[in-house]
Amino acid sequence: MLGAPTLTNDRWRAKKIIEVLEREFNIDPNEFIALKAREEGTGIFEALVATIISQNTSEKNSFNAWRRLKSKLKIDPYTLSKADPKTIAELIRPAGLQEQKAKAIVSAAKFIVEKLGGRLEKVLELPVEEARKILVENIPGVGWKTVDVVLSMYGKPTIAVDTHISRVSVRLGFTKTRKYEEVRRKLMELFDPKDYYKVHLLLILLGRRYCKARKPLCKQCPVRSLCPSAVTK
């Protein structure tokens, strides 16, 4: 039961907010490199590579770097496990932090080849918390957000939290903290597991277009009537 429809009822507001955002936004894969990689790529490993590339940079830079990598190397665990990290770093240079990301990509590829028989899909057969832990603990340079993006995109019940989502969650009154795991757990309580990945994308779009860090556009925001932090004067 969602309870009475009041501004203080978080589950009711959460449901209504997502309903409004679904009407407001069109989820375009061209705005999310991981989603685009899932649609155009060769499988979950390529989505992981694309997500690693996207760390701490813009989507525009991420797409540029991903396209450059695809144009020169086959994005599969066997190919990239044997690739020179310097070669990968040069190809993904537009995304920044290229040396760090290249090492993470090679480490991921080697782990998948050596421990998973070349099939990252095997982690999807595990309970979600076990899958998360295995990937984070065995791939240097890959953190919780990267892992949660990829797992949720392939149906595992988890929600990745980026800077937009943590900011929006605080302003919407869903959480008082921006700590990764606390925000993730709270959002997972508020929303249905089948909606987790959709929620992830819609909250990012809300943060990008209206609930901006420095100057939130409260007057134009489609969920202002459902937001306890909205400034309408």
Domains of the chain by start residue, with CATH: 10-26+159-226 (1.10.1670.10), 32-153 (1.10.340.30)
Q: Dihedral of the CA atoms 209, 215, 218, 219 (nearest 10)?
A: -100
Please indicate whether residue 113 or residue 9 has the higher confidence score (pLDDT): 113
What's the rounded mean pLDDT across residues 5-25?
A: 85
* pLDDT given at position 149: 97
Instruction: Give residue 157's pLDDT.
Output: 97
What does the DSSP assignment read for the chain?
---S--TT-HHHHHHHHHHHHHHH----GGG-HHHHHHHHSSSHHHHHHHHHHTTTS-HHHHHHHHHHHHHHS--SHHHHHSS-HHHHHHHTGGGS-HHHHHHHHHHHHHHHHHHHTT-GGGGGGS-HHHHHHHHHHHSTT--HHHHHHHHHHTT-S-----HHHHHHHHHTTS-S---HHHHHHHHHHHS-GGGHHHHHHHHHHHHHHTS-SSS--TTT-TTGGG-TT----
How many Å apart are CA 41 and CA 115, to the nearest integer? 22
| Higher per-residue confidence, 162 vs 9 | 162
What pLDDT, on the 0 to 100 scale, is given for residue 93?
97
Residue closest to 54 by CA, chosen among 128, 153, 167: 153
In tens, the pLDDT along 182-192 reads 999 999 999 99
Average pLDDT over residues 200-206: 97
Summary mean pLDDT of the chain: 93
pLDDT over 70 percentage in the chain: 95
Q: Is the pTM of this model over 0.85?
A: yes
Across the range 61-73, mean pLDDT stands at 96
Instruction: Name the band, by pLDDT with cuts 50, 70 and 90, for residue 232.
Output: low
Query: In the chain, what percentage of residues exceed pLDDT 90?
Result: 91
